[in-house]
Amino acid sequence: MTDIQLDSIDRKIIGVLQNDGRTSNADLAENINLSASACHRRVQRLHSTGIIKNYVALLNSRLVGLPTTVFVEITLSGQADEVLDAFERQVQLIPDVLECHLMSGSADYLLKVVAKDTDDFARIHRKYLARLPGVAQMHSSFSLRSVSNTTALPI
């Protein structure tokens, strides 16, 4: 993928939308001192180039009954493409896994999992994680408190 050049106006648009994706085009244009039509064209370009991937509602995990976050380090039995591919296909089917990252270092993958409590995590572990293909080792760490959490990229 080639780097797409962002000017200061693009960065302002992205900054506003990262903090409030529901901002109307009129408010966005006013906020960055641009006409509504020019602002709309720029936002459309940011969408068409893939810089803006999507708009989502970010939920409060505690208020929806999923206050427990667990980070799971997984080491696979091998590094062959078919082992990695099989693992990645299956992990994407687990609804409780919010993120899955291929890692360097001691673990092959790092998963971010949400659960109701430790009993619910035990269920997730038995039903899904323990059945993932190619897993040699698994280490789970429970988050005690989130100190910093954002989805905004520092552009």
Q: 8-48 domain in CATH 2.60.120.10?
A: no
- Which residues have a Cβ under 8 Å from the Cβ of 126 and sit 6 or more positions away? none
Q: If you write DSSP's letter for every residue of 92-111 in order, what string do you get?
A: TT-TTEEEEEE-SSS-SEEE
Is the pLDDT at 63 greater than 80? The verdict is: yes
What DSSP line would sit under 33-80, residue for residue? T--HHHHHHHHHHHHHTTSS----PPP-TTTTT--EEEEEEEEES---
Instruction: Kindly state the helix (H) or strand (E) to which residue 114 belongs, with its residue range.
Output: strand 109-115
Percent of the chain with pLDDT strictly greater than 70: 99
Residues of the chain with CATH 3.30.70.920: 68-142
Complete edge-to-edge strand list for the sheet that includes strand 97-102: 97-102, 109-115, 68-76, 135-142
Place of tokens 């667990």: 70
Above 90 in pLDDT, residue 3? no
What CATH number has the domain spanning 68-142?
A: 3.30.70.920
Q: Which residue has the tokens 């572990």?
A: 125
pLDDT, tens digit, 9 for 90 and up, residues 77-90: 999 999 999 999 99
Q: Where are the CATH 1.10.10.10 domain residues in the chain?
A: 8-48
pLDDT digits (tens, 9 = 90+) for 16-42: 999 999 999 999 999 999 999 999 999
Whether 2 has a pLDDT exceeding 90, the answer reads: no
The contacts of residue 62 (CB under 8 Å, 6+ apart) are none
Rounded to two decimals, the pTM is 0.89
